[in-house]
Amino acid sequence: MGGTCVLRGCVPKKLMVYASEYASALVDAVGFGWEIGEHSIDWRRLIEAKDRELKRLNQIYLRMLETSGVRLIRGRGELVGPHEVRVGDDCYTAQNILISTGGRPSVPQFRGNELAMTSDDILSHEILPQRLVVIGGGYIGVEFACIFGRVGVRVTQLVRGDGILRGFDADVRSHLEQEMRAAGIEVRTGVQIAELARADQGFRVTLGTGEVLETDLVLAATGRVPNTTGLGLDAAGVERGPRGEVVVDSQSRTCVPSIFAVGDVTDRVNLTPVAIADGRGLAESLFGDREFEVDHQGIPTAVFSQPEVGTIGLTEAEARAQFSEVQVFEAKFRPMRHTMSGRESRVMMKLLVDKGSDRVLGCHMVGDGAAEIIQAVAIAMKCGATKAQFDATMALHPSAAEELVTMREPRR
């Protein structure tokens, strides 16, 4: 119970991010007068502690279902009609049926791809490798590259495209890539994988150019696809899209009036809070006294890389495509912490403003605490905040976030 986020995604991954951050904190502490002796991470103990926490959360979800009066049927469900689900030898009927089966890892096609680990697998891998090849430049690949890189693993990240985090703001992508390289992660772009094979010690990755990389583990972190195989969707007449996603309208209705779908299985905005909001909206529409549609615009997003990425609203490319005159306010600076830690890492902040209305169209940040800061900015932007209102807000000093209200002159 808990699905992708609780068991195979956000929660265990964030716990591992926390664990990896202590490595940098111990190094930085020396600049502040701390004497730090020999230290290392017991990876197996971390995995065991993480698993205990997931078990605790699982029990909480089970209790929530029980106290809510939900009947739990254990087994694999398959639609056999618009109002009927078969589980084993039993069939169950209902006025309405909700599909919320989430997603599963997608592994690219190349020879030997079955030897690669997925993000599901690596979350429970108890042995810390010395070398790791990460295939993929999306947020999953970036986060795991940073986690393992921070705890001392030699990480090589192979990206098919021109850079990491395709779809994010271009300045965010380039700034984070520079920070990752500075931290010792080898990011290689424009790379194709030809073959993965076992070696005497670990694995051998052959690239499209013929170059061979030796590694202990290979993580295929190339995204997730909707989990719709074997659900009986075709038999029930439910339409699927090109990636196998359940096609729904703005109120989570499928083409079958009695069948609905929410969450990653619809491949709309694959984020946990969006799935929760869609589920709440559907409950309101079906059993409340009003039609309810969830607004999928202006959703804050974070990448728990190191340093963190937080973003809300339009990228610069999107803003320029939609508005005739866009002002770009940007700040890059070394945070106060690192003036004494000695680390050269820099924070990047960026505001995009429609010059005609003065409305803030997008806010992007790379730096420690980016997710926490962007969540608060998202409230202001949801209210239609203007740059003048940002400027009129008193700065909280000393903080990194104060830069958001002190950027006066547009860079371009």
Q: Which positions are catalytic? A: 397
Separation of alpha carbons 358 and 249, rounded Å: 33
Q: Give the 3-state secondary structure of residue 244.
A: coil
Separation of alpha carbons 244 and 104, rounded Å: 12
The token duo for 333 is 């600076």
Q: How many CB atoms lie within 10 A of CB 45?
A: 11
CA angle 139, 144, 147 (to 5 degrees): 125
294 neighbors 277 (Cβ within 8 angstroms)? yes
Task: Mark out the alpha helices in 254-360 (DSSP H runs).
Answer: 272-287, 316-322, 336-341
- Taking alpha carbons only, the member of 228, 223, 270, 279 closest to residue 252 is 279
330 neighbors 324 (Cβ within 8 angstroms)? no
318 neighbors 346 (Cβ within 8 angstroms)? no
Phi, psi (rounded to 5 degrees) for 330: -145, 145
Separation of alpha carbons 83 and 152, rounded Å: 53
Phi, psi (rounded to 5 degrees) for 20: -70, -25
Q: How many CB atoms lie within 10 A of CB 78?
A: 17
Separation of alpha carbons 306 and 362, rounded Å: 22
Q: Give the 3-state secondary structure of residue 350.
A: strand
Long-range contacts for 241-249 (Cβ within 8 Å, ≥24 apart)? 241/267, 243/267, 246/99
